[in-house]
Amino acid sequence: MEKPVFIINGFLDSGKTTFIKETLRDPQFLSGGKLLIIQCEEGEEELDEVALSKLGVSIITVEEQSQLTGEFLNGLELYYNPNMILIEMNGMWNMDEMMELDYPDEWVPSQIISLVDGSTIQGYLTNMKKMILDLVRYSDIIIINRCDDNTDKTFIRRSIKPVNRKAQLIYERADGKDPGPDEVELPYDMNSDYLEITDDDYGIFYMDCMDNPKNYEGKTVHFLGMLYFSSKFPKGYCVPGRMAMTCCVQDIAFIGMLTKVPAVVDASLLKNRGWVYVTATVKVEYQREYKGKGPVLYATRFEAAEEPAEKTVYFT
């Protein structure tokens, strides 16, 4: 029988234990049987072990990340035989190592939820960006709590989404209420059928088009890109794009969209790592490379271009 593993992540005092308490108040959550909570950090809020034990909840404390070995987890499985596992992570621990944990065969990683203090996240993203991005890199849901009217949701989204496109961002005020929708300010006019994408705007365009491809369907786009060819692409396709920095120099990666090569094109332009101006129409199609539907560019024109002085683009 598969046993789901939930990881609740966040820095100290980000609200992890409070979130767990609220989750445990939902009788439907505990209807699945015995729950084992592995606490890797203790904050000001505490779980009532005596009261929870009556509900079939067991709690153990882990002091060091090095304790989380396959042998240790298998021991927990044999001793507690839980139906579900909830890990309250220490936000300073290495999430890469957590993703590589040797879980018991029955334990199945199901969801990673990260909590972030909305009153401090902008400072973290400005001064300690790598730290906050490492925290949320693998999250399925990111809850940004304690927001107020000064919380810059556009800045937060543009900082986080490049390293974790799949994550759902949820904002909460200090009183728990919804502060309103995450309205993204785009640097170009979405009411126009023709979008001129500047070098400065390419990262934002890529991120928003990948997240909301239907908004771009049928529009014509024009941008400067470096061509990338691969035998893994469908015949007659390439990926024009840019090198993008998501966090720091170590995180520079190539980003681009699958593109149908123009029907008529100068063959001398079709060079791997060659630079061209691309004019293309956006369509939304299923493609294996996207593992589902995504934006596919049908190029109508490639024009020769010089390599730009600044080859790297950003998301802000």
In a domain, 71, yes or no: yes
53-90 per-residue burial string, b: 16 or more CB within 10 A, e: under 16: eeeebbbeebeebeebeeeebeebbeeeebbbbbbbbb
* Claim to verify: residue 169 and residue 198 sit in the same structural domain: no
In a domain, 69, yes or no: yes
* Claim to verify: residue 115 and residue 242 sit in the same structural domain: no
In a domain, 221, yes or no: yes
Range of the domain at 168: 3-173
Residues facing residue 285 across a β-bridge = 294
Note the pLDDT of residue 180: 65
d(CA 294, CA 211): 9
- 10 Å CB burial of residue 163 (0-12, 13-18, 19+) is buried
How many domains does the chain divide into?
A: 2
* Claim to verify: residue 167 and residue 214 sit in the same structural domain: no
Mean pLDDT by 10 residues, the chain (316 residues): 94 91 87 92 84 92 95 96 96 93 95 94 90 92 91 87 85 77 77 95 91 95 97 94 76 90 94 97 89 93 94 80
- Parallel, antiparallel, or unpaired: how do β-strands 237-245 and 259-260 relate? antiparallel
Which residue in 267, 294, 159, 275 sits closest to 223, CA to CA? 275
* Claim to verify: residue 123 and residue 76 sit in the same structural domain: yes
* Claim to verify: residue 95 and residue 139 sit in the same structural domain: yes
Note the pLDDT of residue 245: 76
Out of 141, 173, 205, a domain closes at: 173
* Claim to verify: residue 158 and residue 284 sit in the same structural domain: no
Backbone angles phi, psi at 168, to 5 degrees: -90, 125
Q: 0.85 exceeded by the pTM? A: no
* Claim to verify: residue 55 and residue 126 sit in the same structural domain: yes
Residue with tokens 């991120």: 207
In a domain, 184, yes or no: no
In a domain, 262, yes or no: yes
d(CA 131, CA 150): 22
* Claim to verify: residue 222 and residue 110 sit in the same structural domain: no
Which residue in 2, 13, 6 sits closest to 38, CA to CA? 6
Note the pLDDT of residue 102: 94
- Parallel, antiparallel, or unpaired: how do β-strands 57-61 and 35-39 relate? parallel
Pull the structure tokens for residue 159: 């900082």
The alpha-helical segments, DSSP class H, found in the chain are 16-24, 49-53, 70-80, 95-99, 121-127, 129-136, 153-160, 202-211
